[in-house]
Amino acid sequence: MRRGIGAAEFGRDFTSPGIFGARMSDFLRDYLNVVWFAVAALAIGGLLLGLAAAIRPSFPSAEKNIAYESGVDPVGMGWSQSQIRYYVFALLFVIFDVEAVFLFPWAANIERYGTFGLVVMLIFIVLLLDGLVYAWKRGLLRWV
């Protein structure tokens, strides 16, 4: 059961049997549109690249196919070892992002949960902030 604005109120009628039959719910229909858009994006990309491939010239040479590093011959492999400085940030991001996911269902029903929900979620947000302050004090938020 869809709350608020449903497809029926919109006047959109999906009862005509399509290629997937009439039994598919509106919910899945909407996500099927997402799939069509993905297919369309791939088709457009392929079409344009195919067109370009049909038109453009191709004169490969050994010098042209060297990696471009400002005109100097590249030193070593392109996949050189590099320090990924932000792996701590990445860990923090995962924690925060997952916790933000918990905030959304409450936010969408904030009036229903009322004061009780508000107090609980404020404690939750303070805990989130506490984690950030902890990382800050440990010096993890410094770009080294």
Partner 1 sequence: MISVLAVEIPYWGQSLLRVLGGLVAVLLPAGAIVYLFLFKMMSFMQSRLGPMEAGPYGSMQLLAEVGKWLQKEDISPDNVDKTVFKLAPVVVLLSTFLLIVVVPFGPEAVFADLDAGVFYFLAVGSVSVLGILMAGWASANKYSLLGGLRAAGQLIAYELPMVLATLGVVIQAESMNLNRIVEVQNTEAIFGFEWLGNPFVITQFLGFLIFMIAVQAELTQPPFDMPIAESELVSGYMTEYSGFRFLMFFIAEFATAGVFAFIAATLFLGGWGVPFEWFGWDNLDDVSWWMNIVGPLILFTKMLALVFVIMWVRFTYPRFREDQLQTFAWKFLIPLSLANIAVTAILKVAV
Q: Does 139 bind partner 1 (CB under 8 A)?
A: no
Kindly state the tokens that stand for 122. 């404020």
Tell which one of 1, 23, 70, 137 touches partner 1 (CB under 8 A).
70
Buried b / exposed e across 60-99, counting CB within 10 Å, b at 16+? eeeeeeeeeeeeeeeeeeeeeeeeeeeeeeeebeeeeeee
Radius of gyration of the chain (CA): 26
Number of amino acids touching partner 1 (CB under 8 A):
86
> Among 57, 10, 53, 48, which Cα is nearest to 29's?
10
Stretch 98-117 residues interacting with partner 1 (CB under 8 A) = 100, 103-104, 107-111, 114-115, 117
Q: Please tell me whether residue 131 binds partner 1 under the rule CB under 8 A.
A: no
Binding status of residue 73 toward partner 1 by CB under 8 A: no
Minimum Å gap between C-beta 131 and partner 1 is 11
Q: Is 72 in the site for partner 1 (CB under 8 A)?
A: no
Q: Give alpha helix (H) positions in the chain.
A: 26-55, 87-108, 110-137
Smallest separation (angstroms) from partner 1 to the CB of 96: 5
Which of 1, 79, 137, 139 binds partner 1 (CB under 8 A)? It is 79
Q: Does 82 bind partner 1 (CB under 8 A)?
A: yes
Interface of this chain with partner 1, residues 27 to 56, rule: CB under 8 A: 27, 30-34, 36-38, 40-42, 44-46, 48-49, 51-53, 55-56
C-alpha–C-alpha distance, residues 71 and 137, integer Å: 45
